[in-house]
Structure 1
Amino acid sequence: MDGLLEWIGALPFAVAIRRSATLYIFANAAHILSIGIIVGSILPLDLRLIGFFRSVPVGVVGPYLSRAAATGVALAILTGFCLFSVRPVEYAGNPAFLTKITLLTLGVLNAALLHMTPQWRAAVKGGPLSLRVRLSALLSMMIWIGAVLAGRWIGFLLE
């Protein structure tokens, strides 16, 4: 595992980011913007699914906000990997980083599983919001807020 982490840290873009404060700032800013896309799309959708904003049709906002969140996740993974590559050995041993990655995985898994259910398809078609959909939304909110908090915690645990 250490060999893989050292290889990641030696990748040309990792070396370039490590050597350039400007590149690091841009990678970090892009990561923060990506997180903003995730939170800015997931939380309103989850709130709608648990019963807020009832006048807004799930069929209108659900597909759009889901795609926006997926785009944010993809960008956050890409930019996060760039940031990770700067200090991979340190990050791989950081409990906050490991918590964040676990929560990210759980968040993506929760969304993927929800989108495969007939309850989600029914909700998007204007049907009732089932308990399964509501619980998944509540879990999603907890997971993504936890991931953001864990991400902020990372820097406090690095030496």
Structure 2
Amino acid sequence: MDAVAALEGIEALPFAVAIRRSATLYIFVNAAHILSIGIIVGSILPLDLRLIGLFRRVPVEVIGPFLSHAAAIGIGMAIITGFCLFSARPVEYAGNPAFLTKMTLLALGVANAALLHLTPQWRVAVKGGPLSLRVRLSGLLSLAIWTGAVVAGRWIGFLLE
């Protein structure tokens, strides 16, 4: 099966057809997607700011695990709702440079977080130890990636015909 046929298959899924036919359903799925993005940004950015050295009175061992879990929930929700939105017009989205940029940044953001959480430096940080250069750089990279993903996401609609 070629890529276009796979995308057309996604477009034919019952929930994709329902989203295209119902403005109300589209609005609710879109709102849920925006809410999930809010959860991601609302948890990742404060954590990243703390990791790069701001808000030093806030202990990483307290906020690190909590905000990481909140971000993971937001990412899960964003993937589900984003796929639903994508399914309504997959051929158009697959050719949209902003969409492709957003997907690349999303993958990089998740990979950065996963790699950070696997390091001994992260385990030290969430046990109250010092923040290593690796942890700080990961926070800085995360800030750039997730900000870029939000910008790319907003850019998508401007490039769709």
What TM-score does the superposition give when structure 1 sets the normalisation length?
1.00
Counterpart Cα distance in 1 of 2:115 and 2:7:
31
Residue 103 (structure 1) aligns with: 105
The CA deviation at 1:38 is 0.1
1:74 aligns with: 76
SS of the residue 1:111 aligns to: helix
Partner of 1:7: 9
Percent of pairs with identical residues: 82
1:121 Cα deviation after fit: 0.2
CA distance in 2 between counterparts of 1:69 and 1:141 reads 13
Tell me the residue number matched to 2:130: 128
Aligned to 1:90: 92
Unaligned runs of 5+ in 1: none
- What is the alpha-carbon distance in structure 2 between the residues aligned to residue 152 and residue 8 of structure 1? 23
Q: How does 1:8-157 map to 2 (within 5 A)?
A: 8-157=10-159
Q: Which runs of 5+ in 2 are unaligned?
A: none
Q: Secondary structure at the match of 1:127?
A: coil
1: CA distance, partners of 2:10 / 2:105? 22
- Deviation of the 1:134 alpha carbon: 0.2
Report how far residue 47 of structure 1 moved: 0.4
Task: Return the offset for 1:32.
Answer: 0.2
Q: Deviations over 1:23-77 (max 9, x none)?
A: 0000000000000000000000000001111111100000000000000000000
Residues in 1 aligned to 2:49 and 2:99: alpha-carbon distance in whole angstroms: 27
Distance in 2, Cα, partners of 1:127 & 1:109: 23
Runs of 4+ residues deviating >2 angstroms:
none
1:97-143 per-position Cα deviation (integer Å, ceiling 9, x unaligned) = 00000000000000000000000000000100000000000000000
Distance 1:145 1:27 in 2: 22
State the distance in 2 between where 1:55 and 1:150 align: 33
In structure 1, how many angstroms separate the alpha carbons of the residues matched to 2:97 and 2:59?
40
Count of residues paired in the alignment: 159
